[in-house]
Structure 1
Amino acid sequence: MSDLSSLGDELSALGCAALVDAMGRLHGHRAHILPLTSPDPGRPLFGRVATIAFMPWRDDLEESSKTFADFFFGALGGSPREKVLVLSSGGHPEASHGGGTKLLRAARHGLAGIMADGRLRDFGQLRGYPFATWCRGEAARWGGDTVMPYAVDVAVEFAGVCVTPGDYAFADPSGAVIIPADSLSRVLDTARQIEAEEARAAEAIGAEKYPPVNLTRP
């Protein structure tokens, strides 16, 4: 097991809520994303971010003639293993941004996961791949005439959150959080502290005695 996988296991044990609380103590910007959908909700996502920015489709731009593979390999460079490929919505979160065939590349090249601010097709196929997938929901219709990949390795907006290449993304059924790379260690330490604080609070609540009830009427 890689160091990143071990770290992912610890973050999964802490859960997204503790990580969001930790980010709130350390940073003033929004870092949380409301719950997404997954073909396998029991599989959390964690890894270093690479980005593809989507835009509304246009037929007169050079980018419209490129394939998804061009953007996929451009975003991941020479080190795709254990990365999370983040796809922005292009203003159309209801449109399909890919499916089982295109995203087979993520399985072949060892990605940790896909996180899409749009819908994805072929949940049955995606469920069988070895990476985690989180998105806006399943789509039946192809979306290539609605949105298109436009740029790689750039900051993107994802559900109101700024995501930059090199950040860390974590997602589980309660939501997702984007953690700046330089803050990962501090966020993890703070999340551990929060977990300990909550355990102590739960213990104190468990030891509470119900106050006596005064049945005397004036």
Structure 2
Amino acid sequence: MALSTETRDKLKTVSTATLCTALYKRGLRNQFIQDVHPLDPSKPTMVGEAFTLRYMPAREDLNGLEVFRNRAHPQRKAIEDCPPGAVMVIDSRKNPRAASAGGILVTRLMVRGVAGIVTDGGFRDSAEIADLAIPAYHTRPSAPTNLTLHQAIDINVPIGCGDTPVFPGDVVVGDSDGVVVLPSHLADELATEAVEMTAFEDFVTEEVQNGRSILGLYPATEDKTLTDFAAWRKISGR
């Protein structure tokens, strides 16, 4: 099911933390990609459907510089095929010792309208990528070319990224905390629930800032909390 504009817009207003809680309620505990970090935490929230690239360990005789003469090389083809509005997610085997991509390839994604890029490896040209108008997430900077250790092998297949399963078309959301992956069939209901949860959390934050105890407030185990929340929503238009 394609990601709707309405759901995309909702997801841009909620946090990965809130989405992780909503996923937990549904028994999904392993949807937050481990050990990836934003190159620029101030970037707007990243939202898009997953388009995947899988690396395997490189076999040296098959992974020389001449492989890039092939216009169908999986890494180069993925950069040109990733749809506008999608998020490229790379399975780099949690190995940042060689780069998953660099500034030129990520610039190409940005120019093509891709919504973001995530790898459980590292990027070269990381300072340059951080300055680009595209959200990017990795483990740490890495200067060696991907050919050193990684052999690009598959495009848009199920992968693991940071120990999290990612299927093509899953909805990927990234913020300053990191990246969460939403199963595509749950994206609409998760977005709606997260918007509601965010409204309640904003109410709770205001109450706590005003000196109120969290007991009975968070979670809302007292009727007064729900009554106060309803009045807050009416006043705030939330």
TM-score (normalised: structure 1):
0.80
Contact kept? 1:34, 1:174, Cα under 8 Å = no
**In 1, distance between residues paired with 2:166 and 2:138?**
15
**Number of the residue aligned with 2:21:** 21
**Number of the residue aligned with 1:166:** 169
- The letter of the residue matching 2:52 is T
Distance 1:27 1:72, change over 3 A: farther
Same amino acid, percent of matched pairs: 23
Contact kept? 2:34, 2:164, Cα under 8 Å = no
Report the CA distance between 1:50 and its aligned residue. Answer: 0.4
Report the CA distance between 1:28 and its aligned residue. Answer: 2.9
**Aligned match for 1:96, one of 94, 99, 103:** 99
Contact kept? 1:49, 1:164, Cα under 8 Å = yes
**Number of the residue aligned with 1:37:** 37
**In 2, distance between residues paired with 1:63 and 1:152?**
20
Task: Summarize deviations over 1:168-193 as a string: whole Å, max 9, x none.
Answer: 11111212100011111111122123
**In 2, distance between residues paired with 1:19 and 1:198?**
13
What pairs up with 1:5-20 in 2 under 5 angstroms?
7-8=7-8, 10-20=10-20
What pairs up with 1:94-133 in 2 under 5 angstroms?
94-133=97-136
Report the CA distance between 1:29 and its aligned residue. Answer: 4.6
**Number of the residue aligned with 2:233:** none
Say whether residues 1:46 and 2:38 are aligned partners: no
**In 1, distance between residues paired with 2:80 and 2:129?**
23
Contact kept? 1:38, 1:137, Cα under 8 Å = no
Distance 1:157 1:48, change over 3 A: same
Q: Specify which structure has the higher proportion of helix.
A: 2
**In 2, distance between residues paired with 1:199 and 1:124?**
34
Contact kept? 1:80, 1:111, Cα under 8 Å = yes
**Number of the residue aligned with 1:215:** none
**Number of the residue aligned with 1:213:** none
**Number of the residue aligned with 1:156:** 159
- Structure 2: give runs of 5+ residues left out of the alignment: 215-238
**In 2, distance between residues paired with 1:79 and 1:139?**
23
**In 1, distance between residues paired with 2:197 and 2:170?**
22
Report the CA distance between 1:64 and its aligned residue. Answer: 8.7
Distance 1:51 1:63, change over 3 A: farther
**In 1, distance between residues paired with 2:80 and 2:60?**
27
**In 1, distance between residues paired with 2:13 and 2:34?**
19
**Number of the residue aligned with 2:228:** none
**In 1, distance between residues paired with 2:94 and 2:137?**
18
**In 1, distance between residues paired with 2:131 and 2:212?**
46
Moved more, 164-173 or 185-194: 185-194
Task: Specify the SS of the correspondent of 2:104.
Answer: coil
TM-score (normalised: structure 2):
0.74
- Structure 1: give runs of 5+ residues left out of the alignment: 210-218
Report the CA distance between 1:61 and its aligned residue. Answer: 4.6
- The letter of the residue matching 2:88 is L
**In 2, distance between residues paired with 1:94 and 1:62?**
16
